[in-house]
Amino acid sequence: MLAVVCLSAAFIAGCAGGRSGKATGAPQPVLSLQNTGSDTLVNLALAWAERYMTLRPQVRISVTGGGSGTGIASLINGTIQIANASREMSAEEIAQARKNGIEPVRFTVALDAIAVVENPHNPVNGLTLGQIASMYVGAVTRWSAIGGEDRPVVLLSRESNSGTYVYFLEQVLRGGDAKGTALFSPETLLMPSSEGISAEIRQNPNAIGYDGLGYVTADQKMIAVARTADGPYVLPSARTVLDKSYPISRPLYMYTAGQPTGLVREYLDWVRTDGQELVTPLGFVPLAGSGQ
């Protein structure tokens, strides 16, 4: 009986100590952050999240891809704190967010080039923006029309939910004309991932595709791109993105619902400063003035 009473007293005392919050060694509360969107950004976003969680062990950051459209839709629906996007939100998306009481705020987190790629055995080394557009709208269907061999052109693209797809459509096929109506040829093969484009380029000598510079592999040949036939023909690189000589480059974004505070603010501040040291190793271009 005495032993039972002592154990009961110890249990009650322990519970009381827990309620008072005076127990030593109490773990800090876990802080969670949901980050979804651009497949272009997903590897970099994962690297940022993993590094940040080593710096702040009480933080848990969940990163998923699915495309810029998926991330933006999740932000509009209020299910995530940060949406990754490789394009700007459309006027329609911003209007829908505001209808839901959300004011999207955009942060540039890195820079990127969209590389135009082909099979290494293809002899074509350079194309103008106009030639690339003519191929993708279906006006040029054989490589021989642009200085290559007499072979059919096989067009590869990301799927329409991809921000890279939208940017390529607006800036290359439509030449940056907001009123442009050009569309991808119905013959274009829509690939679900960067890996799909890489695999098809590797095995198909007739294929041409495009992807973020950070996803170009050694078994793809990058094509030098010129704004006009007079040149210059420029390959994508960190240098040509920063000096703006490569014509298909873009910012990469993170969107928040309103001005961020707390953990979201702290995380974005870190991404845009110390986190920039992770950008170059993954094939992207750090922000100018970040010291990287």
- Given CATH 2.160.20.10, say whether it is the number of domain 31-111+251-282: no
The reported pLDDT for the residue numbered 290 is 57
Give start-end residues of each CATH 3.40.190.10 domain in the chain. 31-111+251-282, 112-249
Kindly state the percentage of the chain with pLDDT values over 90.
84
Question: Is the pLDDT score of 261 beyond 70?
Answer: yes
User: CA 186, 187, 193, 197 torsion: positive or negative?
Assistant: negative
Across 71-89, average pLDDT: 97
Question: 224-226 and 82-85 as β-strands: parallel, antiparallel, unpaired?
Answer: unpaired
Q: What is the C-alpha to C-alpha distance for residues 181 and 174, in angstroms, rounded to an integer?
A: 7
* pLDDT band for position 288 (cuts 50, 70, 90): confident
| Among candidate residues 32, 106, 86, 31, the one with its CA nearest the CA of residue 63 | 32
Q: What is the C-alpha to C-alpha distance for residues 190 and 155, in angstroms, rounded to an integer?
A: 9
Give the position of tokens 């839901």: 100
Question: Is the pLDDT score of 273 beyond 90?
Answer: yes
Q: What is the C-alpha to C-alpha distance for residues 88 and 77, in angstroms, rounded to an integer?
A: 17
Domain covering 112-249, topology: D-Maltodextrin-Binding Protein; domain 2 (3.40.190)
The reported pLDDT for the residue numbered 3 is 40
| Among candidate residues 238, 171, 168, the one with its CA nearest the CA of residue 210 | 168
pTM score, whole prediction: 0.83
* pLDDT band for position 28 (cuts 50, 70, 90): low
Q: What is the C-alpha to C-alpha distance for residues 76 and 84, in angstroms, rounded to an integer?
A: 13
Q: What is the C-alpha to C-alpha distance for residues 44 and 50, in angstroms, rounded to an integer?
A: 10
Q: How far is CA 251 from CA 88, 192, 216, 263, in A?
A: 9, 22, 18, 23
Q: What is the C-alpha to C-alpha distance for residues 146 and 152, in angstroms, rounded to an integer?
A: 12
Q: What confidence tens digit (pLDDT) does each residue in 101-142 have? A: 999 999 999 999 999 999 999 999 999 999 999 999 999 999
Q: What confidence tens digit (pLDDT) does each residue in 133-157 have? A: 999 999 999 999 999 999 999 999 9
The reported pLDDT for the residue numbered 110 is 97
